[in-house]
Amino acid sequence: MMRITFLGQAGLFVETSHGSILCDPWFNPAFFASWFPFPSNEGIDRDLIGRPDYLYVSHLHHDHFDPKFLTEHVSKDTRVLLPDYPLDHLEKALREIGFSEFVHTKNGQPQDVDGLRFAIMALVAPTDGPIGDSALLIDDGETRIFNQNDSHPVDLEALRELGPFDAHFLQFSGAIWYPMVYNFPHRMKEALGRKKRINQQARTFRYVQQIDAAHVFPSAGPPCYLDDDLFELNDFNRDPSNIFCDQTVFIEYLQEHGNDRGRLVIPGSVITLERAGMTVRHPVSDQEARAIFLDKGGYLRAYQERQKPVIDAIKAAWPNGQIDVLSSIKERFEPLLALADLTCRGVNARVLLDCRTEQIVIDFMDRTVYRWNGEYCRYRFRIAPELVESCLMQGLEDWVNELFLSCRFQAERDGPYNEYVYNFFKCLTPERLEYAEGYYEEQSPVAELWECDGYLVQRRCPHLKADLTRFAQVEDGVLTCTMHGWQFELATGRCLTSDDRTLYTEPARATEEKPA
Ligand code: FES
């Protein structure tokens, strides 16, 4: 028997006879106090879930990774089930708050730990979450669930082969700033919102069909917005142009499309899964559970009232002119722009950060940062200076995972969406940027070679794709990638630091054969 307590958003506490797994517990407001779990999970006893056998954090977005909750409530003896991400940011973040026991997984490969069988599907494109998103399969020998949360796996055939599944948990709502923050004309924004709402439900429905689980639990969103500045973003009345449709809307969508497997859960609902069937018990009566969605305005206003002191305290702590924003951005971004060949080519424009007190241009053509002087900028962001300052003072490596997801900004652009712009803001360290650059390069039909010490060598390091034209040092025929120190023999391409990679090399000039 599997017993699953729904914790809100993507949070699950899964209990089996082979141990328990705490998945993506999120309790503290995220992204500059803009996102809160909806419905509220204030009623969950946090200490009751604090000693699981395993912890699974799908990725680093703060509605999945809540360092405050993990620090204060979860035993650091817990073993962490770690997705197979090429960059180790998730492991580092968990180590920083005290976790030290990790079960490293291989992408999509089932493994057993003390009788519990699980597999983690890791998605690793720069566009997947904060460079890395994942889904979890759990099998206790009697029932099997697939916790997709907000990831978008692509290899559905492989997934189906791991089934059949008794339960499928997945995101059905938007979880982004588009189109709300854009200064589009009202009717255009409405049309874009409507299209997005339809597309995201259709995409979720395709996953539901493919996974074909006996029961479908809409989870992992939407959040709700409780700050006065953002309150109107909530979908109060099933607005067809609002991207944050709720669970009940998606369950009805399933029904309209001939699927009656959708099940409503709210934080505190307990799902019992057995071979014989499934039951759901809510922490309140069914009628009270439904009432949350029927009178969402009233529900959210009461929730807002309770959380107001929390929001006020967070906002009061935002910095206020402690640093020089222009010179900090210049110092931080210009060395990155120098590395970002493909990103700069992909953006090929100026980006304006209009921070009220200071207007700053990030020029992806000249690879420089300077004070705005009226130049034309194709992409324009208006952001409160305290938020930019906060990102800089915290040394954030990924501004999407704080600033952009907060929806606390306005945007304008000429022309279509350009993913290189936002991906740059996710990659604010050389390591992240090199990874993204290498990823883009691998998508290009022509893999680049460069000449090094008499050899033509693949340009991207086989470890994490650093650009070897910048990060290689050669001594005695051995190339060292200075990003993490991996070494390769130039004559053979053999890796001296790992046995599962090679570097492509060939002599730069064929040696002239002597005539016989
Ligand atoms: S990218 Fe890690 S050693 Fe090259």
Q: Is 463 in the pocket of ligand 1 (CB under 6 A)?
A: yes
Q: Is 464 in the pocket of ligand 1 (CB under 6 A)?
A: yes
CA 460 / ligand 1 centre spacing (Å): 9
The amino acid present at 129, given as its one-letter code, is G
The amino acid present at 391, given as its one-letter code, is C
Q: Is 486 in the pocket of ligand 1 (CB under 6 A)?
A: yes
Nearest CA to ligand 1 atom 1: 464
Q: How far apart are CA 245 and CA 71, in angstroms?
A: 32
Q: In what order do the strands lie in the sheet with 215-218?
A: 111-113, 116-123, 133-139, 144-149, 167-170, 215-218
- What is the model's pLDDT at position 245? 96
- What is the model's pLDDT at position 17? 95
CA 462 / ligand 1 centre spacing (Å): 7
- What is the model's pLDDT at position 446? 57
Task: Centre a 10 Å sphere on the Cβ of residue 196 and count the other Cβ atoms it contains.
Answer: 18
Tell me the best of 437, 452, 464 to mutate to test the pocket of ligand 1, counting ligand atoms within 8 Å of each CB and taking the most: 464
**Where are the strands (E) in 9-127, listed by range?**
11-16, 19-23, 35-36, 54-56, 79-82, 101-104, 111-113, 116-123
The pair of structure tokens assigned to 429 is 């360290």
Tell me the best of 433, 469, 470, 484 to mutate to test the pocket of ligand 1, counting ligand atoms within 8 Å of each CB and taking the most: 484
Residue 241 φ/ψ, nearest 5 degrees: -105, 10
- What is the model's pLDDT at position 128? 86
C-alpha distance across the termini of the chain, in Å: 79
- Whether the upstream peptide bond of residue 39 has omega within 30° of 0, thus cis, is yes
Which of these, 222, 177, 192, 182, lies nearest to 406 by C-alpha position? 177
Q: Which residue reads 């807002």 in tokens?
A: 304
CA 476 / ligand 1 centre spacing (Å): 19
Atom of ligand 1 nearest to the CA of 471: 4
Q: Is 472 in the pocket of ligand 1 (CB under 6 A)?
A: no
Assign 70 to helix, strand or coil: helix
Please report, in tens digits, the pLDDT of each residue of the chain (516 residues total): 999 999 999 999 999 999 999 999 999 999 999 999 999 999 999 999 999 999 999 999 999 999 999 999 999 999 999 999 999 999 999 999 999 999 999 999 999 999 999 999 999 988 888 889 999 999 999 999 999 999 998 888 889 899 999 999 999 999 999 999 999 999 999 999 999 999 999 989 989 999 999 999 999 989 999 999 999 999 999 999 999 999 999 999 999 999 999 999 999 999 999 998 999 999 999 999 999 999 999 999 999 999 999 999 999 999 999 999 999 999 999 999 999 999 999 899 999 999 988 999 999 999 999 999 999 999 999 999 999 999 999 999 999 999 999 999 999 999 888 889 999 999 999 999 999 999 888 776 556 889 999 999 999 898 888 889 988 999 999 999 988 889 999 988 999 988 778 898 888 865 444 433
Residue 400 φ/ψ, nearest 5 degrees: -65, -40
- What is the number of alpha carbons within 13 Å of residue 221 lying toward its C-beta? 25
**Environment class of residue 115 by beta-carbon count within 10 Å: exposed (0-12), middle (13-18) or buried (19+)?**
exposed
- What is the model's pLDDT at position 254? 98
Atom of ligand 1 nearest to the CA of 465: 1
Nearest CA to ligand 1 atom 2: 484
Q: Is 479 in the pocket of ligand 1 (CB under 6 A)?
A: no
Q: Name the pTM for this structure.
A: 0.90
**Environment class of residue 164 by beta-carbon count within 10 Å: exposed (0-12), middle (13-18) or buried (19+)?**
exposed
DSSP string covering 226-263: -STTTGGGS-SS--TT-S---HHHHHHHHHHTT---B-
CA 110 / ligand 1 centre spacing (Å): 28
Which of these, 120, 116, 119, lies nearest to 140 by C-alpha position? 116
- What is the model's pLDDT at position 99? 98
Task: Centre a 10 Å sphere on the Cβ of residue 160 and count the other Cβ atoms it contains.
Answer: 13
Tell me the best of 463, 467, 473, 480 to mutate to test the pocket of ligand 1, counting ligand atoms within 8 Å of each CB and taking the most: 463
